[in-house]
Amino acid sequence: MKKYGFVFTVLTILLAIPCKAQQVIYANLHELVAQEGDTVTTLLVEKRSKNKILLLSGGDYRIEAKDNPSLSRYLRKRCYAVRIDTTLYVNCRKMRYKRYRFGSYFAPAIQIGEHVYFCAQPVGQAASSTSTPANAPRLGGDVGNAIAASALINARVFYEINPRNGRAEFVGKEKMASLLGDHTHLLKRLRRETSEGASVIGYYLMELKRLTEEK
C-alpha cells in the first residue's frame, strides 16, 4: 500500500502546483474530448481546506480568473473543465452520480483517450461500498448525516464520465478490471487489492494511461 500512497501523494502535489503554463477552458464534454477549448492566461488554482469542503461540499479545488469577475462566474456556473498544462480539472457542478450531486468547485481528473476519470468524495452507493461496512451501525437524522460527512472528508474515489450522457459512474475493482482488459499482470495485482479508494484505483488508471500512450 505504501507505493500507492506515494504515487497518489505525488499526483496530488503535482495537481496543486500553480503554474503559468497553457490554460484551456472547455464549455462541455464534447469540447473536452475533441480538445477544442478556449485558451486563457489568468487562472488561479486554490486547494480548498477540509473545513470548507465539509461545510460547503464540492470538489477539492477552486479555480478563478484574476481580476475578471465575469470569467470567474463562468468558471463556477457554466464551464465544464479546465486544463492547466497537463493537469485536468472537471467542474463538479456539472457532474451527477445517479441521483446524487457533487456540489460546486473542481475535481482533479485523468484523461485516457476519449475517457475521463475524476477524483471526488464518495457519494451514494460509492460511499457505502468504499467507506462503511455493511453491518456497521448507522445513526439517523442530522447527527448521523454529520458524522457520515465528517468520516468521508478525507475519502476519495474515482468516477468515469459516461461519454454518451455525461453522467458519472463509480470506478471500483470490477469496473477497473474491465478497463484493464488483457493487461494480465495488472489484473492479477488488482484482484489482491482490498480497497477501492482513489490511492489504489488511481495507480491502475495511471498505469493504464501510460500503457495506452505507449501504443
Whether residue 95 contacts residue 102, with contact meaning beta carbons closer than 8 Å, is answered with: yes
Mean pLDDT by 10 residues, the chain (215 residues): 52 47 92 95 94 89 94 96 96 94 96 96 78 42 44 87 93 97 96 95 97 89
Q: pTM of the full predicted structure?
A: 0.81
| Secondary structure (DSSP) of 176-207 | HHHHHTT-HHHHHHHHT----SHHHHHHHHHH
